[in-house]
């Protein structure tokens, strides 16, 4: 049986009872509530528990793993190399774990997460099938009241001094409101909530909507399995060959002999990935030299392509050279020139998140694959039998929505969070997210976000970004305890300055020139705000500097001063 896909933004609600529950004393008093049991929430638990805090992680899924629990579509794997897309907090773990491929598959990543949970005994403080519905700050006590709903169980209330939102940048699925979506009589799937039992497409006519990373990974495999695959493309995407393969024992040995060096190199790159970047602009090379450089990186595969020139996302000449190179490659691979042209992006490369693939463009040479361009005439309707475009019905047995996520803010705003004066986060962020360092938002004391908007997050290898945030937050909560501080809260002025800085940095790039999910442009009605911060090294420096200056830009309040504390929210 196919998993149901609702026709609106995925609510993933387990129960609506929590909001209506009568006010009773909390069932648990905790130091910290952590929301989400992906890479971020699990490491947060490990750090805080090690410091002696009482912590509980609430996760709405039936298992841990976050992204790697939900996204089980064919071909799902990381596109940052496994040796980098892994925790670095434990040198023993880093040495012991053996990745089998250059880019690990979803099952292997989930096995790794399970291993980490067992190795560090994390499961006993993770409560599954539990959604955090509301979080309300009590100004008198300086604590958060948190309401939970449980699948098939009664609602629960807990109280905590701190709440950490580890809810994921890409965890709320985007299901466009295609007219008639619920009428489709075949099997319907969203890549972001794939059935655990897998799907057998053998002999079936399959349609897939979307050509982002999830589609780019799954299309070649679905095409091999199905009798026919129809791809509905609104915008073509740039994709670089992944050149995946088994990891060579010698290579692994070399990395493990000095893992710190790899981590250190990566930490100095804007994207937080060891891209072997050159300190050279495209203009310093002739067109022939540029081609040679791109060719070399194309052959190696992976995101290293972006390391060819230091100005690739800031300068038109550099970017156009890279664009042109990839378009030529697409035309070389795809036999039908019309299809090749449809698959060739015309936008800035890197403006939408770059994809890595294994045989993506080659797939369009297959006889059983059809590409339907929906850029000019959008999908009219989903009928009982298939997808209607331009008056023509494409009959399907299965429909796959690879339509992405309400990124960066979706999971944060799904929780009804009330800060000072009862003001909600939804109200505060009505015109787009505002935070200080992506970690806190003024008016919401003791509420921390891991990889929140205005932090590097999705523009980086997420693992080091997650660890950097977790470490910062854990150290901060430890500092508050040691100095008997009841609350910490972003100062509004510091927040405004930080948001202005994030926008200024983005304004100096070419990343504002397309309709990306970084800008919220994939979700109709979402405010158009560039959400991540570009630049891992300066960001880390800023976070460290803030601490060195006594949590500059934050207001710290002692318990005895709680009632009289002026609100920093302005």
Strand locations in 384-540, DSSP E?
386-389, 392-395, 398-401, 416-418, 447-449, 485-490
Is residue 229 near ligand FAD by the rule CB under 6 A? no
Span of 39-47, 130-138, 203-211, 469-477 interacting with ligand NAP by CB under 6 A:
203-211
By beta-carbon proximity to ligand NAP, the closer residue of 85 and 144 is 85
Strand locations in 258-413, DSSP E?
355-357, 369-373, 379-382, 386-389, 392-395, 398-401
Binding-site partner at residue 60 among ligand FAD, ligand NAP, none, CB < 5 to 8 Å by type: ligand FAD
> Could you say which of 99, 364, 405, 536 contacts ligand NAP (CB under 6 A)?
405
Q: Which pair of structure tokens corresponds to residue 216?
A: 């780019």
Is residue 235 near ligand NAP by the rule CB under 6 A? yes
By the 10 Å C-beta count (0-12 exposed, 13-18 middle, 19+ buried), 288 is classed as exposed
> Could you say which of 462, 488, 531, 556 contacts ligand FAD (CB under 6 A)?
462
Is residue 214 near ligand FAD by the rule CB under 6 A? yes
> Could you say which of 5, 33, 34, 36 contacts ligand FAD (CB under 6 A)?
36
**Min CB(105)–ligand NAP separation in Å:** 10
d(CA 269, CA 428): 33
Binding-site partner at residue 399 among ligand FAD, ligand NAP, none, CB < 5 to 8 Å by type: none
Is residue 451 near ligand FAD by the rule CB under 6 A? yes
Report helix, strand or coil for 401: strand
Span of 213-221, 289-297, 340-348, 445-453 interacting with ligand NAP by CB under 6 A:
213-221
By beta-carbon proximity to ligand FAD, the closer residue of 76 and 499 is 76
User: Nearest Cα to 343, choosing from 363, 313, 366, 317?
Assistant: 363
Residue 271: alpha-carbon gap to chain centroid:
14
**Min CB(163)–ligand FAD separation in Å:** 11
* Maximum distance among all Cα pairs of the chain, rounded to whole angstroms: 74
Binding-site partner at residue 61 among ligand FAD, ligand NAP, none, CB < 5 to 8 Å by type: ligand FAD
By beta-carbon proximity to ligand FAD, the closer residue of 206 and 266 is 266
Is residue 400 near ligand FAD by the rule CB under 6 A? no
User: Nearest Cα to 433, choosing from 169, 201, 173, 244?
Assistant: 169
Interface mask (CB under 6 A) for ligand NAP, residues 171-190, using x and -? -----x--------------
By beta-carbon proximity to ligand FAD, the closer residue of 116 and 372 is 116
Is residue 212 near ligand NAP by the rule CB under 6 A? yes
> Could you say which of 334, 355, 415, 485 contacts ligand FAD (CB under 6 A)?
415
Contacts of residues 195-202 at CB distance under 8 Å and 24 or more positions apart, as own/partner, are 195/2, 195/3, 195/72, 196/72, 198/72, 199/2, 199/74, 199/398, 200/225, 201/225, 201/226, 201/398, 202/226
Is residue 466 near ligand FAD by the rule CB under 6 A? yes
> Could you say which of 80, 164, 221, 223 contacts ligand FAD (CB under 6 A)?
80
d(CA 92, CA 189): 39
Degrees to nearest 5, angle at CA 198 with 194 and 200:
120
Interface mask (CB under 6 A) for ligand NAP, residues 65-104, using x and -? -------------xx-------------------------
Q: CB-based contacts of 540: which residues, under 8 Å, 6+ apart?
A: 267, 468
- Name the residue number minimizing CB distance to ligand NAP: 212
Report helix, strand or coil for 490: strand
Binding-site partner at residue 215 among ligand NAP, ligand FAD, none, CB < 5 to 8 Å by type: ligand NAP
Pairing status of strand 386-389 against strand 379-382: antiparallel
Q: Which helix (H) or strand (E) holds 94?
A: helix 91-96
> Could you say which of 122, 135, 166, 223 contacts ligand FAD (CB under 6 A)?
166
- For residue 159, the tally of other CB atoms under 10 A from its CB is 18
By beta-carbon proximity to ligand FAD, the closer residue of 36 and 210 is 36
| 3-state percent helix, strand, coil for the chain, nearest multiple of 5 | 35, 20, 45
Residue 443: left (phi > 0), alpha (psi -120 to 50), or beta? left
By beta-carbon proximity to ligand FAD, the closer residue of 86 and 569 is 86
d(CA 78, CA 56): 28
Paired strand residues for 418: 136, 424
Is residue 14 near ligand NAP by the rule CB under 6 A? no
Is residue 214 near ligand NAP by the rule CB under 6 A? yes
Which residues contact ligand FAD by CB under 6 A? 35-41, 58-61, 66-67, 69, 71, 76, 78-80, 85, 131-132, 166-171, 214, 411, 414-415, 450-451, 461-462, 466
Which residues contact ligand NAP by CB under 6 A? 78-79, 170, 176, 191, 209-215, 217, 234-235, 353, 356, 374, 379, 402-405, 458, 517, 522
């Amino acid at each position: 049986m196919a998993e149901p896909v609702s026709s609106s933004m995925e609510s993933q609600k387990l129960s609506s009872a929590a909001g209506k529950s009568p006010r009773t004393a909390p069932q648990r008093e905790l130091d910290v509530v952590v929301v989400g049991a992906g890479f971020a929430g699990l490491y947060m638990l490990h750090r805080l528990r090690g410091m002696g805090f009482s912590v509980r992680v609430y996760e709405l899924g039936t298992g841990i793993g976050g992204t790697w629990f939900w996204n089980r579509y064919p071909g799902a794997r990381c596109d940052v190399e496994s040796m980098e897309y892994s925790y670095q907090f434990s040198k023993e773990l880093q040495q012991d774990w053996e990745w089998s491929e250059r880019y690990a598959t979803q099952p292997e990543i989930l096995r790794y997460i399970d291993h980490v949970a067992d190795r560090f005994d994390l499961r006993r403080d993770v409560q599954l099938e539990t959604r955090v519905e509301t979080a309300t700050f009590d100004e008198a006590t300086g604590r958060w009241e948190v309401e939970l709903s449980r699948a098939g169980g009664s609602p629960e209330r807990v109280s905590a001094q701190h709440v950490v939102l580890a809810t994921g940048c890409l965890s709320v699925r985007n299901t466009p409101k295609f007219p008639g979506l619920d009428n489709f009589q075949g099997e319907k799937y969203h890549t972001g909530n794939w059935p655990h039992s897998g799907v057998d497409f053998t002999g079936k006519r399959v349609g897939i909507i979307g050509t982002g990373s999830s589609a780019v990974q799954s299309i070649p495999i679905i095409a091999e399995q199905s009798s026919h695959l129809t791809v509905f493309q609104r915008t073509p995407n740039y994709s670089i060959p992944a050149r995946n393969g088994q990891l060579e024992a010698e290579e692994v040995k070399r990395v493990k002999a000095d893992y710190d060096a790899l981590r250190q190199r990566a930490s100095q790159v804007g994207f937080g990935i060891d891209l072997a970047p050159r300190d050279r602009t495209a203009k310093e090379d002739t067109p022939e030299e540029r081609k040679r450089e791109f060719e070399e990186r194309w052959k190696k595969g992976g995101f290293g392509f972006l390391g060819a020139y230091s100005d690739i996302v800031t300068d038109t000449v550099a970017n156009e050279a890279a664009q042109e190179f990839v378009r030529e490659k697409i035309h070389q691979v795809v036999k039908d020139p019309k299809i090749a042209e449809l698959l060739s992006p015309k936008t800035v490369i890197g403006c939408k998140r770059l994809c890595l693939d294994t045989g993506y463009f080659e797939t369009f040479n297959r006889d059983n694959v059809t590409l339907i361009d929906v850029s000019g005439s959008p999908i009219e309707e989903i009928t009982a039998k298939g997808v209607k475009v331009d008056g023509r019905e494409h009959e399907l047995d299965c429909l796959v929505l690879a339509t992405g996520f309400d990124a960066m803010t979706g999971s944060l705003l799904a929780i009804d969070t009330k800060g000072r004066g009862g003001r909600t986060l939804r109200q505060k962020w009505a015109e787009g997210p505002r935070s200080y360092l992506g970690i806190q938002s003024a008016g919401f004391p003791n509420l921390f976000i891991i990889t929140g908007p205005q932090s590097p997050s999705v523009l980086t290898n997420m693992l080091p970004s997650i660890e950097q945030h977790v470490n910062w937050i854990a150290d901060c909560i430890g500092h508050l305890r040691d100095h008997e501080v009841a609350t910490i809260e972003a100062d509004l002025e510091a927040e405004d300055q930080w948001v202005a800085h994030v926008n200024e940095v983005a304004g100096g790039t070419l990343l504002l020139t397309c309709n990306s999910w970084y800008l919220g442009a994939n979700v109709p009605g979402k405010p158009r705000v560039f959400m991540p911060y570009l630049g891992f090294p300066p960001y880390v420096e800023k976070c460290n500097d803030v601490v060195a200056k006594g949590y500059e830009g934050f207001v710290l309040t002692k318990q005895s001063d709680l009632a009289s504390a002026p609100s920093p929210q302005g």
